[in-house]
Amino acid sequence: MQTNPIQRVVIVGGGTAGWMTAALLARAMGPQLEIALIESDEIGIVGVGEATIPQIRLVNQFLGLDEDEVVRATQGTFKLGIQFNDWGRIGDSYMHAFGDVGLPLGLLAFQHYWLRDVHGRTSAAGAGSAGAADVHGRTSAAGAGSAGAVDLWRYSLNAQAALANRFARMDKVGSSPLTGIRHAYHLDAGLYGRYLRQHCASPTVQRTEGKVVDVRLRAVDGFIESVLLESGETIAGDLFIDCSGFRGLLIEGALKTGYENWQQWLPCDRAMVVPSARVEPMRPYTQANARPAGWQWRIPLQHRSGNGHVYCSQFISDDEATALLLANLEGEALAEPRPLRFTTGMRRQFWNRNCVALGLSAGFMEPLESTSIHLIQSGVSRLLALFPDRHFDPTLSEEYNRQTRFEYERIRDFLILHYRATERSDTAFWRHCAQIEMPPGLARKLALFRSSGQIFRDGEELFTEVGWLQVMLGQRVQPARHHALADAISPAQLDEFLGNIRTLINRAVDSMPAHTRFVAEHCKAASPH
């Protein structure tokens, strides 16, 4: 039992970060903890986190939220993965799909059996022959009919369902050992924050409308004592959580924590964001389309599409970036493009004294792999696991910072891979990306895969071996060989193993309704006013 427990938490900032934090803390800690949340309706929300990864379902389940209700309330749709277009070379397209790819066999990961099949077919066809497939599962136009035998994504249920614009909730594929659909959501970030705010109508959470104009520190140790609002009200607390966005009012403005700039690895520093009219088909996946000096996202919602052009201002002007965004919308623009400026990186400490930064206050990595909301979720989970008392034992904050730094750096490396593993040389931006000096961990992972086809997950890093596999192969990182154990089965056994997986996946996809139909039948949102 704690002898000096935290009694009051003050959260500065609302939106998804603030209200997710408040909801999770209230649910986990119950009436023993008083939570004060300060937000101003006059301060806009960045709201680029409209695509999520499957871990968000754990948040909703913990909070006791009904999935259909969440999707309906946020004008949401379902997400099976991300399609990357023109990243390796212009004309390339691959999917980073959630869920498994294939099945392991014995002690060996699936990719080694797939690589054996690809290498065997490539050798049989002969280098340069029409229809010969490379290790990435691509064929020439003349040999497109043989692509199904070697295309990695034929072994991903999520990828096949996404490309067919189908969706269903499916835990397993029949009675087979194949795992089923693993999904996340596309959602309106503003509506999601509002939904959490309504759900969090708890007596332990007190919302105060107002702007913070001053932060008062204790003279004895520099801890935050209270915040002063524009109205003159003072709000004191034991633990302060900074959800104030890029401004970092507490973690940086008051505590001068410092920031690590990662632009040498992730050069994009601006974005133009605009909503557009909904178009059909309503895809169950996000699109990330490479552009001459960055990339553009498309996110399908029920009432509109979300679009953004992330770019590097060193290689393109704001006006050019805006024009390129508008020229590549699929539907009519519904508003004027909104500019964002950012510096990719993270705070030197996420937990400093009695302040924890979450969301954009903690750091920023462009939404290339939809990690923004997840980092809020994992930060709150980590805080709950290491929750302090009013003594604020420094070993707790040190461990929190160590774990959070690890998570941020591993996500950073995964994002760098998308830029670094390019064969494009058509613009100055892509030539620059191809020469980026890689962090040591990423360089080791790429070298190991190129030499042996092996991928090992680094501790509890967010992205799995299957995620790394899809991006590396999708961007033409070619393994020289497969594992020797993959040669232990006969060619006939290999053909049967791979063929059975393809058949099971095809049947499962054929049984699913169209994504648009599923949404209409289960979680159709009301028309926006």
Give the residue numbers marked as catalytic: 79
CA distance 154 to 518: 23
Longest distance between any two alpha carbons in the chain, whole Å? 79
Q: Is the separation of the CB atoms in 46 and 245 below 8 Å?
A: yes
Give, as one character, the DSSP assignment of residue 52: -
Query: What 3-state class would DSSP assign to 261?
Result: strand
- Bridge-based pairing of strands 34-39 and 8-12 is parallel
Q: Is the separation of the CB atoms in 49 and 373 below 8 Å?
A: yes
Query: What 3-state class would DSSP assign to 510?
Result: helix
Q: Is the separation of the CB atoms in 474 and 87 below 8 Å?
A: yes
Q: Which of 464, 446, 412, 510 is nearest to 55 (CA)?
A: 464
**Range list of H helices, 337-439:** 372-385, 394-420, 428-434
b/e map of 49-79 (b: 16 or more CB within 10 Å)?
bbbbbbebbebbeebebebeebbbbbbbbbb
